[in-house]
Structure 1
C-alpha cells in the first residue's frame, strides 16, 4: 500500500480507491491518505469465483461419497469399500436433506456473474440437480417413496448379487477386497431387514406398492433361493481366486463365504420373500398407476419434471407421444411397401415376430452377432467423434438368474482410469421372442457411441467437477443414447429396409413410452391395455412388451426421458447445421454436447446456442 502526505491548508484531492485519516502532528495536522490496491481484474475475479465454486463442489462431493460409499466404489475409490451404505434410515434421509440445503446456501453466496461461461454451466447444473434432490426429501413426497424401498425393476435384491459376484463393479484383487465383500454382506442383510420395516410403515400409512410388482419380487427372490452352490452369485468370488492367494487363504475365505451365504444371506432373503408373500401382498394395491396411490398424482408430477428436466405436464407428453407414434408408424408402412409385403401393417408386425430368418438360434449366435456389430460400428466412429473413451467396452448376456425381468439391454459403466471396462448387457431370455433387425440399434444405444461414450467421456474428463463427471439426469443420458441410434443412418447401417425397420421399431418403443407411461400413471390405463397398445403399434413380442409395461409400472416417468431428450438434441443439431452451413462439423457438435457431462436440457440448449453464435462470429 502506498501513502501520500498532504499538509493542512493544501487542497484535498478526491482520490478514488483511497481512504484518508487526519493525524495530529504538532501545531498542524497531517492527513495520511492510504491508497487501496487496484480492483481485481475480470480474470482475477473469475478465478477467485471459480476457486470458491469448485471448493464447494469438492466438499459436497467428498461428503456425498462418505454418505454413499457405493458411489465411491463405482469410481474405483476404495476408501469406504468395506461398507454398502445406509440409504434407507431416517438418519440417512435427514443427512441428505441437510446436505442439499447446505450446498444451495453455499452456492447462493457465489456471484454467478463473475464466473466464466463454462463455470456458469457448472453452477447451473449444480443448482438444478441440488434443488431437484431437495424437492424429493420434502415432507409431502418422502413418505411416498421411503416406504417402497424395492421393486422388481429397481431393487438392491437384483443389483447386489451381480455386484458381489466377482463379475460386477466390486473389485476382487487382494485379500482386503475379499474381506470387504464379507463386511458389505452384513450391511446388505441390515438393508433387507430395514426394508421390511419400511414396507410395514407403508402398510400403516396406506402407501403400498402394486400386487404386480410384489409378485414379481417374490419370483425373483425364489429364483435366487433356488440357486445351487455351483451357480450361487455370492460364491462367485471363491470360484475364481487370484493366483497370488495361498492355499490357506483360499480355504479360509471359501469357508467364510459359504457361512455368510448359509447363515446370513439366505436367511435374510427368505425373511423378505416370506414377508412379501404372507403379509405385504394381501395389503398391496390393485391399480398399477400412481394415480391409485395416496399422494400419487403429486408424486408423478414431480417425477415427470425430475426425469425430463422440463416443465411439461403428463397430458402434454401424452399428446406428443401420440404424434410421434403416428409419424413413425407411417415410416414403418413405407418399409412394408418397399419390401413388397401384401398384408397390412399389423400383419407385417406379426411377420417380423414369427419369421425364422429374424431369429437367433442360440445365445452363442446372439453374442457373436453383437460382437460383429461392434466391429462395424468401431470402424465408423472416427468420422463422427474426435475424442473416444479410454475405457474398453465388453459385450455380455445378462446372467440367467435375472434375465427374465431385465430390459432388452443395458449398460454398466467402467472406471475413470479404464481399469474396469464398461459392459453392454443384452437379453437372451426367451430367444424365440427376440428378433434381429433391432440389434444394431440396441448396440448403438447401450454400447458405442451411446451410453459407453457419454458416460465414459464424462468421467474421464478430469477438468469437470466430480458431480458432472459422475452424475447426470435421465433426459440427457437416455436422450443422448437414443440420439446415438439415429447415427446409424449417417453410418450407412439402415439402408437395407429391414435394418431401417429395426431402428424405426426402437424409435417407436420410445414414442410409445410417452403414451403408455402417462396413460398408466395419469389416465388409469391397465397393464393389459398398455401391452395391447404396444403390440398393435410395433413388432415387439409379448414377452418384451410385458417386461416394458411392468417396468413403467415399477419406475414411473423414467421411460419418458428417452424421446424428450433425443428430440432436444436432434433439434439442436438441425439448428446448428442450418445456421452454420458449411462450417458445421459433426465431430465438433458431438464434442460440444458431450464435453460437459450430462446437462439439464435447458442448460444444454443455452450452451449449444452460445456455441453456434460464437462459431458464426469467429
Structure 2
C-alpha cells in the first residue's frame, strides 16, 4: 500500500497514507473495458500547438488552485508557500470549492478539441476528464451523506497521519525558524479539525449513518496509546530535539516552551475530546455489523466505491467469483511447493509449520532492516535487465513507529520529494515479531520498494514533462496493480528458486486473491469479522495477528483491497497481448516504460495507451 497525500478525501480514505511475470502460473483474466472518450461538440478549431498550450494552461491553473485548497499536497511536494495551513477540511466551504473547481475545469477541458492534441496530450486529456468526473461524483450529496459523516476510523484519519507528519520525520520540514512557527499554527488547526470531525460524527448519528463498533474501539485504543505518552515523548515533541544551528538559543527556549504548551494544552485535549466522545456517546450507537451493505445506504456506497477504486464497472459478485478462482489456482501452486520440500501433511499443516517454525522468525527490528537492505541490493543488480527508466529518488527502509505499528499493514511506502531531496520510505511492521515470518520479505520489498511503489511513484513525480495532476495523482488500481505485478518479477529475476521464497510470494499473491473474496464477502454478502479471519487462515500461511489486521483494514476502508488483483491482472493481460502481437519486436524494458512513463492511469486509459504502442511497433 502507499502513503501518499492527494486530496482530503483521498487522505482520509488512504492514510493510516497503493502476473505475466510469473511464466509458470496462469491467471484468471480481467476483461478489457473500452474507455469512452467524450469529444466536445462545438470545440473551436485549434492547431496542435494551440491545443497543447490551452490544455497545459488549464492544468497549471487547476494545480495552483488545488494547492491553495489542499496545502498538505504542496508540503509533500516540498512546496512551502502554504506551509502554515492544514486546509479547511470537513467544512461546507471546502466541499463547495472542490466541487465547483471540478465542474468548471471539466467544462474548460471540453472546450479544447481533443482531436487536435498529440497522442501523449490525449492521454492527459482523458485522465483529467476521468478525474474531474470522479471528483464530481464523490461530492454528490447522496455520497457525502454516507462518507463525510464517518470521518475517522483506525485506518484512515488525521489522528494517525498527523502525529508522524508533525514529528520531524515526515514531509513537514524543520530547517528554519519559520518552519517551527508554521508547525505551531498547524497544531492549532489540527485541534479545530478534530472538533469538526466530532461534529460530523454527530451528523451521522442524527441521520443513522454510523461507523462500526469494531473500528471505533480501535480508534479509542489508538487515542489512548497516544494520550499515555508524556508530552516530551510524543511525536509532536520530536522537532524540539532537532533544532538547526541557525535557530538561536533564545528562540530554542521560547519554542520549547510554546511546543510544550500547545501539545499539552491544545493537541492532547483535542485527542481527549475525540476519545471521550467516541467512548461515551458514539460507541453505544455504532453498528455491530461490519459490512457496508448492513449500513444505511451502504449497498449503494459499496458499488460506487468499487468503480472508484478499480476504475472499472465491475460488480461485487464478479469480483467475489474471480477471487474464488484465483484462490483455487494459487492453492494448487502451494501444493507443489509443499511436495517439493517434502512436507508430509495437509496444506493447512504446512501453513501452520511456517507460522511456528523458529527458522522462519525474524530475529529483531535491526535484523529485519538489514535483511531488507540486503534484498534491495540484490534487486538493484537485476533492475537494468528489466527497466530502462529508474528513479533518481533514493529509498530508505524503516520500521513503523511503535505508537502506530499495531494497526498498520505489513508494509507501506511513503513518497519522497520530486527533486529527490527527501527519500522515499519503505516502512515494514515489526509489531509482535513472534507472529511474523520471513519467507515473504523479498516479495514485500518488490511491492513496496523497488520496482514497485518506489519506481512508479518516483518516476511519475520526477517527470516534469507531465502535468502536476499526473505526476502527483493516481488511482489505486494502477498504483497497487503495478506493485503486485512487480512482485512477480521475482520469478524472472531468480529470487523464487528457493521453494520457501516461492511459498512466500505465493502467500502474498494469495493474500491479494483472498482480498477479493473477503472484501466482497464482508461488504456485500454479510460475512462476519470472524468468518473473514478464518477464511484467510485456512487459505494461507498468515499469522492470526496479520490476518486480523488485514480484515479490520478491509472493514475500515472497503474496496481498497480489491484494486491489487484487478490492476495486476490487467497489466499481466496487456503484457501478454503485447508479447503475442509483437513477437520478436516485443521489448520488456520498453513495455515497462510505456506503462510507467505517464504516471498512474485509469485502467481503460492504460489499455488504450498500450494498444496504441502495439500498433506503432507493428507499423
* TM superposition score category, shorter chain reference: over 0.9
Q: Distance in 1 between matches of 2:364 and 2:101?
A: 50
Provide the secondary structure at the position in 2 that maps to 1:132: helix
- Which of 513, 516, 522 is equivalent to 1:511? 513
Partner of 2:208: 206
Shift of 1:230: 4.1
Q: Secondary structure at the match of 1:495?
A: coil
**CA deviations over 1:506-537 (Å, ceiling 9, x no partner):** 00000000000000000000000000000000
**Matches of 2:340 and 2:381, distance apart in 1:** 29
Distance 1:183 1:174 in 2: 15
- Of 218, 225, 228 in structure 2, the residue corresponding to residue 226 of structure 1 is 228
Alignment correspondent of 1:441: 443
Q: Match for residue 360 of structure 1? A: 362
Match of 2:154 among 142, 152, 155: 152
Alignment correspondent of 2:472: 470
**Distance in 1, Cα, partners of 2:157 & 2:53:** 39
Give the secondary structure class of the aligned counterpart of 1:400: coil
Please list the CA deviations of residues 135-174 of structure 1 after superposition, one character each: whole Å capped at 9, or x if unmatched: 0111211111110111100110000000000001111111
For the residue of structure 2 that corresponds to 1:494, the secondary structure is: coil
Find out whether 1:116 has 2:118 as its counterpart: yes
**Matched residues in 2 for 1:466 and 1:474: separation?**
18
Larger gyration radius, structure 1 or structure 2: 1
Instruction: Determine helix, strand or coil for the equivalent of 2:142.
Output: coil
| Cα offsets for 1:81-138 (capped at 9, x unmatched) | 0001111111111111111111111111111111111111111111111111110111
Please give the alpha-carbon distance, in whole angstroms, between the structure 2 residues aligned to 1:146 and 1:230: 33
Matches within 5 A, 1:448-467: 448-467=450-469
Match of 2:14? none
Superposition deviation, residue 44 in structure 1 = 6.9
Counterpart for residue 317 of structure 1? 319
Structure 1: tracts of 5 or more residues without a match: 1-41
1:90 alignment partner in structure 2: 92
More displaced stretch, 367-376 vs 461-470: 367-376
Equivalent residue for 1:126, pick from 95, 115, 128: 128
Structure 1 match to 2:255: 253
- Tell which deviates more after alignment, 539-548 or 567-576: 567-576
2:608 is matched with 606
Asked if structure 1 preserves the Cα contact closer than 8 Å seen for 2:127 and 2:601, the reply is yes
Deviation at residue 369 of structure 1 after TM alignment: 1.1
Inter-CA distance 43–422: structure 2 relative to 1 (3 Å threshold) = farther
Identify the residue that residue 390 of structure 1 maps to in structure 2: 392
**Equivalents in 2 of 1:320, 1:87: separation in Å?**
37
Deviations 1:180-235 (A, max 9, x none): 01110011001000111100110000000000000000000000001123421000
- Which position in structure 2 is the counterpart of 1:140? 142
Within 5 Å, which residues of 2 pair with 1:575-586? 575-586=577-588
RMSD: 1.1
Q: How many residues align?
A: 576
Candidates 186, 196, 199, aligned match of 1:197? 199
Structure 1 residues 497 and 263, CA, compared in 2 at 3 Å: closer, same or farther?
same
**What is the aligned counterpart of 1:244 among 225, 246, 251?**
246
Say if 2:552 is the partner of 1:550: yes
Counterpart secondary structure, 2:141: coil
- The 5 Å alignment of 1:342-381 reads 342-381=344-383
Deviations 1:486-514 (A, max 9, x none): 11111110011000010000000000000
CA distance in 2, matches of 1:98, 1:48: 26
The 3-state SS of whatever aligns with 1:141 is helix
Q: 3-state SS of the aligned residue for 2:430?
A: coil
Query: For residues 14-93 of structure 1, what are the structure 2 equivalents within 5 Å?
Result: 45-93=47-95
Deviation above 3 Å: which 4+ runs of structure 1?
Answer: none
Counterpart-to-counterpart distance in 2, 1:78 and 1:246:
22
Segments of 5+ residues of structure 2 without an aligned counterpart are 1-43
- My pick for the range that moved more, 400-409 or 377-386, is 377-386
Using the alignment, how far apart are the partners of 1:327 and 1:201 within structure 2?
A: 46
Aligned 8 A contact 2:232 2:260 in 1: no
**Corresponding residue SS for 1:326:** helix
Rounded to whole Å, the distance in 1 between the matches of 2:95 and 2:572 is: 38
CA distance in 1, matches of 2:90, 2:569: 36
